[in-house]
Chains A and B, each alone.
Chain A
């Protein structure tokens, strides 16, 4: 068994940013374990632009954004292993990994950063009636076929769900010579970024069917058509509103699920709201020395935020390894009030003396809404938004000194985040 200070599970945007930040904070004995053959994670197949505006103040494509971080890893000389699949993590932080080059290896780590990302919600979990034919793919699978393998999954395409990958694939399939007949969204609003609706659907006159869903999938062998219908307030299809499409492909972009099987093996407690780990403001999970960041913690809409968050995980892991992290500090809970979903972090330690970032997703579309953060009776922050939508994450930064305030010191104190109409 090899002893190591810090293991980073995953070499995608989260793992790379965490590793670079940990190095910058002084950590040297570390290793990135990446299951694919090259670093970069999902960014390798996200060949569209729109990445890096926050981080690099320029508009990059996914592979370019990843390369910036890969270059850093190379420059720092941070060791990484590709083709290395972690198959087990114990609560004692023993990590088992397999790779073709090194066979089965075991590490005993002092700290671990979980950065495994997320997976797409599959058709099966939707319970959509119809045939189980070829031609039904998640948008990400189709993206891999086209962008990485040069293979076309179909010619006439309907997209179910308006998640960003689905929208991006509407444009990519159009660019690649396929015909995209429509994008079908169950909710009355899009799940993706507004800019993607404009430049991936509107630009090419691809209709967006809000409050619609697929009610039948046809084709014994290869998909031959789908039927969609409008849904009522309870999201149930309304008879008489059916529209039929002749198509050979149905792409699904119906949600992302943090991939926390390894976290659970390690005894990390998960939040039902995010499906990711429950963490404090330092991004430490319920298991001491195990940190979580990026899409395995909660699904982000922008990679820039993944990098920022993961850098904090890296810094904190380095601090933890040097004994600079006050792990005994009292923690106060952060509570999701009305209109707030998928809140992260769930706890703030009372030793926090730097600006603390809180992220969440609004439960519904709200116009002219106010987000308020309180501790006890004291209002810490109040911010106005012209539009809030579940598709777009809200980030709030709490003042550095708030923990020193009286209300935060009180018995049973908690931070409440809520959306006011």
Chain B
């Protein structure tokens, strides 16, 4: 079986074809670099995504933008968003500050991505 993938590792968006036999990848083609190979392997076993989101700031309507420090499992995106919905941070917030630790038990922290005075 051949699976066609578009690498999201960088904006080049390489078209990768991966040949799978007995649930194992036996050949990966079309990637321009190692990122593509890793992406294909991961995408076919346990796809991951960075999640960027907005969280509430106490006493303000303007939200704070945040991200998962590392990609998390794709299937956990909406669980992650639901957890973030419960977060309400107190300002000031600095870029890189942890907003939520170990989101959904992934071991990945969610951090602020802007300065918020």
Contact = CB atoms under 8 A, between A and B. Distances in A.
Interface string B1-24: 000001111110111000000000
A302 B115 CA distance: 23
A386 interface: yes
A150 B14 CA distance: 35
Interface string A70-114: 000000000000000000000000000000000000000000000
Given A49-B50, A195-B8, A67 B67 contact: no
Contacts of A387: 15
A148 B6 CA distance: 31
Contact of B67 (A61, A151, A392): A61
Interface in A51-79: 53, 59-61, 63-64, 67
B114 interface: yes
A405 to B, nearest CB: 30
Contacts of A194: 6, 13, 15
B6 A47 contact: no
B65 A147 contact: yes
A195 B13 contact: yes
A198 interface: yes
B62 A199 contact: no
Contacts of B65: 47, 61, 63, 147
A197 B13 CA distance: 10
Contact of A67 (B8, B49, B115): B115
A195 B114 contact: no
A176 interface: yes
A368 interface: no
A203 B7 contact: no
Nearest to B115: A67
B11 A301 contact: yes
B74 A147 contact: no
A150 B63 contact: yes
Contacts of B53: 175
A67 B61 contact: no
A411 interface: no
Interface residues of A, number: 32
Interface size band for B = 20 to 34
Interface in A115-168: 146-151
A64 B96 CA distance: 9
Given A47-B65, A195-B6, A203-B74, A147 B114 contact: no
B13 A61 contact: no
B46 interface: no
Nearest to B30: A386
Contacts of B11: 50, 53, 193, 195, 301-302, 392
Contacts of B8: 195, 198-199
Interface string B66-79: 01000000100100
Contacts of B56: 150
A199 B63 contact: no
Nearest to B60: A150
B100 to A, nearest CB: 15
A222 interface: no
Contacts of A50: 11
Nearest to A61: B113
A149 B10 contact: no
Given A61-B67, A64-B113, A195-B6, A49 B62 contact: no
B87 interface: no
Most chain A CB inside 10 Å of its own CB: which residue of B11, B61, B65: B11
Contact of A147 (B9, B15, B54, B61): B54
B103 interface: no
Given A194-B13, A198-B8, A150 B52 contact: no
A203 B43 CA distance: 12
A63 B10 contact: no
A150 B54 CA distance: 9
A72 to B, nearest CB: 14
Interface string B30-54: 1000000000000000000110111
A387 B50 CA distance: 26
B98 interface: no
B62 A64 contact: no
A366 interface: no
A302 B74 CA distance: 25
Contacts of B90: none
Nearest to B13: A194
Contacts of A28: none
6 contacts: A61-B113, A63-B95, A64-B113, A151-B61, A199-B49, A302-B11
Please list the 8 inter-chain residue pairs (A to B) with the smallest Cβ-Cβ separation, ordered nearest first. Answer: A194-B13, A47-B65, A63-B114, A195-B8, A61-B113, A150-B61, A150-B63, A49-B50
